[in-house]
Chains A and B, each alone.
Chain A
Amino acid sequence: EVQLVQSGAEVKKPGESLKISCKGSGYSFTTYWIGWVRQMPGKGLEWMGIIYPGDSDTRYSPSFQGQVTISAGKSISTAYLQWSSLKASDTAIYYCARRLGYCSGGRCSYFFDYWGQGTLVTVSS
């Protein structure tokens, strides 16, 4: 059974650093892209970035480039999302999700088939 299990809720102060995790099991972790998605309170889904654990190839949404760092430890089947200096506006639920799909003739079908349970990050002074 495919599972993505995320680390627990965090409460941090502005300016602090944070690294949350997403551990995959039940499939070959290194051969599927893992994406990160933000959901601010009462708001929609926003794609942040994605990593291929096999070689750590990483892509970021322009909105999040330079704001977060995505990494992976393939030997322990875990992806990470980290901040060096949190802001109150980083308060949100963060989901990891496994990406499936392919490209053919310039048309790409990319979607997220399994999702983690989400990690609530609260940043408050």
Chain B
Amino acid sequence: SYELTQPPSVSVSPGQTASITCSGDKLGEKYVCWYQQKPGQSPVLVIYEDSKRPSGIPERFSGSNSGNTATLTISGTQAVDEADYYCQAWDSSTNYVFGTGTKVTVL
């Protein structure tokens, strides 16, 4: 089955850039999306089709995908961005696959 691996945690200082990776076999050949989940809340889509932002998502969120790794970048990270982040892709054998999740801490 297809698997997506993320680092368990990422720490970033306010105003700095946070990069969250998502690794999978030939992931660059698939489309990746990203969700943000704050404690006690439902996930929110922040990036789809590797790099597109839904309406209402701040420009500081961006995404890329190449080779075996997709990356979610948060530029000028704010305290409000502290949350868990999950990547997700679709695979013909496994269907919908979520990454293992990354907790972003803004120190």
Binding site for B on A (CB under 8 A): 35, 37, 44-47, 50, 59, 61-62, 95, 97, 100-101, 107-113, 115-118
Contact = CB atoms under 8 A, between A and B. Distances in A.
Closest 4 CB pairs of A and B: A109-B31, A47-B96, A111-B33, A115-B42
Interface string B40-81: 001111001100001000000000000000000000000000
B88 interface: yes
A81 to B, nearest CB: 15
Most buried by B among A37, A50, A116: A37
22 contacts: A37-B43, A44-B99, A45-B86, A45-B98, A45-B101, A47-B97, A47-B98, A50-B96, A59-B95, A95-B42, A108-B30, A108-B92, A109-B90, A110-B31, A110-B90, A111-B88, A112-B43, A112-B45, A113-B45, A113-B54, A115-B44, A116-B42
Interface of B: 1, 29-31, 33, 35, 37, 42-45, 48-49, 54, 86, 88, 90, 92, 94-101
Nearest to B45: A113
B86 A111 contact: no
A44 B100 CA distance: 6
Contact of A61 (B54, B90, B95): B95
